[in-house]
Amino acid sequence: MKRVVGVVVWLLVLVGVMSWPAVSYNWSTGQTAYEETTIRSYDAAFTIDDDGDLHAVETLVVDFPSGGKHGIFRFFDEADQSATHARRVPHDISVTRDGSSEPFTLLDERNGRFTNVRIGDADVFLDPGEHTYVIDYQIDGVLEPGTTGQRTQLYWNLIPSGWLQSIDKAHLTVTLPVAASGVQCARGVGADSGCTVKGDGTKQLTVDAESLAANTPITVKVGLDMPTPDAGTSVPWPARLDPVLGRSPRNLAIVLLLALLAGGFGAVQARRVKEKTPPYPLMYAPPDGIGPAQGVYIMTERTDKRAYVASIMQAAEKGAVTMDKPDDKSWTVTDTQGPQGWAGLDPVTQRVARLTGGPHESFTASTKDVSAGQTLQSELSSFDTATKSWAKEAGFMQSAGLGCLGGLFVIGGGILALAIAGANWFDMGIIALVPGLLAAGAGPVLATGASTKRTATGRDLWSRVGGFYRVLSTPSSQNRFDFSGRRELYTQYIPWAVAFDCADEWAKKYRAETGEEPPVPAYFPGYAGSHTGNYTDQMVNSFSSTVNSAISAYAATQSSSSSGGGGGGFSGGGGGGGGGGGSW
């Protein structure tokens, strides 16, 4: 269940980031910039042919009151408010200034919604005064089905609302494939009137206007008695979703297919590292030749502080060390036997000898001892490495799937997915699903032990260790343990119970079987707790707590040292032909 919840949360986060451009589609990015230039004359001719394709020629006389400007820009809004599936994409653009060809640069803005024609040379400044620009372009399929009784209509901004300059006078002509009917004209955003169109009932329309303030559109809606031609560029979804889905259904299908394949590939990698838990037959003794840390690693593929504490206790149980409690906040481990005391112990438990430093040497850990904490931290790190190395060298573990690269593979996929979704480099955020589903499918590769799996002999050992864990951890009513004549086995198996994190259950089983309180291990001489019937629990908890506190004291010093610094309506600004411009 946790796995499913994790995948769902990850995908929700990814889709949320990926969908942000759609959510913020019409949000304003700030105040309108000051524009010092003025358009003295705006003369535009629009010709629509029988196929509904538009050819426009806009002639602008722009007054530059001072130097320091390179030219003007003209941007086109490719979304159409009245035809949500249409995209009004300009092409075959050409520009002249004062009768000569003028360089320009095409820029994509707002995830491809706007095509910005930046006119001029960044290395050239214009002389003050008036300059005449002629912008020639085409847009395919601008006619759409009629919404007020006509078969077909043209709903178009002859002057878009995005011009930053005021316009002294405008002369606009529209040449249609058939005679116009029901012509409407609006001046200003949201207006439904304010200008007059000449030529209703003919193929030629003319609009004249004067003294247009900045950001004032001239919009016409014209009925045409003709079949509606095919739209030029059309997609099945509204323009708001373009930054997420792109503009090509074919490309979207390819991306979704690749995402599914990537997710499937990730799931295959996850299955390669997943192991089925073997049966746990009842085992009344641990497997020969291994210690508690090795056993718990074979069963869980984890090593932690509990396993290290269990190894110290195993060494004490075998007589290699003694454990003393000088006061309430410290513990001392002493090597009492030297090399002969460690002989016969498993190689992982033998590493505890490094803690004391040599025969008859001692190591004391207290709750606030930073130096002891540093030593324990170092020993834990090498203990973890030694345990994993033993499992591979002994033939119980082998690399699985992509091995150690698996985690990097998943993390890299997740980071790449968020980067693509956030930056939207391709104006198609859904591409993030490819690495995103790969990371989701391969998520289990991040689990502890996922880079390894047991060999056949390792699975056999896993089964036997699991059987012993079953005996130690389950209530006596389910799996009895006969302590008669073998009560010493209780203390002998305490290190294993600590490693398996079932010391309480092991003690309860002893009480249930014998009717007595568990004995205190001999390697805790003189230990006494405040509750006489709970020696073992207090001892284990106290020692583990001391180790944890010492390590935490050291970790705190490290943390401190590193801290610091649509519809059938009509209004001005609606329809296609949106955009505008300014100077730069």
Sites in the chain below the pLDDT cut of 70:
1-2, 28-32, 401-406, 447-451, 476-480, 484-487, 524-541, 551, 554-555, 557-573
Whose CA is closest to 309, among 533, 553, 551? 551
pLDDT at residue 533, rounded to an integer: 42
How would you label 120-146 residue by residue, b for 16+ Cβ within 10 Å and e otherwise? Answer: beeeeebeeeebebbbebbbbbbbbeb
pLDDT at residue 168, rounded to an integer: 97
The tokens describing 407, both together, are: 């985690």
Q: Are 443 and 2 within 8 A, CB to CB?
A: no
CA atoms within a 13 Å half-sphere pointing along the CA-CB vector of 336: 14
Give, in order, the Cα–Cα distances in Å from 581 to each of 71, 77, 107, 117, 333.
Answer: 11, 11, 13, 9, 80
Tallying the residues shown for the chain, one arrives at: 584
340 CB contacts (<8 Å, ≥6 apart)? none
Q: How far apart are CA 498 and CA 539, in angstroms?
A: 11
Sign of CA dihedral 328, 332, 333, 337: negative
Neighbours of 561 (CB within 10 A): 8
Q: Are 215 and 163 within 8 A, CB to CB?
A: yes
Helices 433-441, 2-23: inter-axial angle, 10-degree rounding: 170
Q: How far apart are CA 421 and CA 230, in angstroms?
A: 33
pLDDT at residue 302, rounded to an integer: 87
Sign of CA dihedral 76, 81, 82, 83: positive
Whose CA is closest to 579, among 284, 215, 295? 215
Q: Are 97 and 119 within 8 A, CB to CB?
A: yes
Q: How far apart are CA 37 and CA 47, in angstroms?
A: 28
Q: Are 153 and 224 within 8 A, CB to CB?
A: yes
Q: What phi and psi, each to the nearest 5 degrees, are found at residue 436?
A: -65, -45
Residue type, 417: A
Q: Are 384 and 303 within 8 A, CB to CB?
A: yes
Whose CA is closest to 327, among 375, 369, 371? 369
Q: How far apart are CA 384 and CA 382, in angstroms?
A: 5
Bridge pairing between strands 38-48 and 167-175: parallel
pLDDT at residue 515, rounded to an integer: 84
pLDDT at residue 531, rounded to an integer: 36
pLDDT at residue 584, rounded to an integer: 82
Stated as kind and residue range, the H or E segment containing 331 is: strand 330-335
Q: Is 429 exposed, middle or buried (0-12, 13-18, 19+ CB in 10 A)?
A: buried
Q: Measured in whole angstroms, how far is the alpha carbon of residue 215 from the centre of its chain? A: 39
Q: How far apart are CA 218 and CA 215, in angstroms?
A: 10
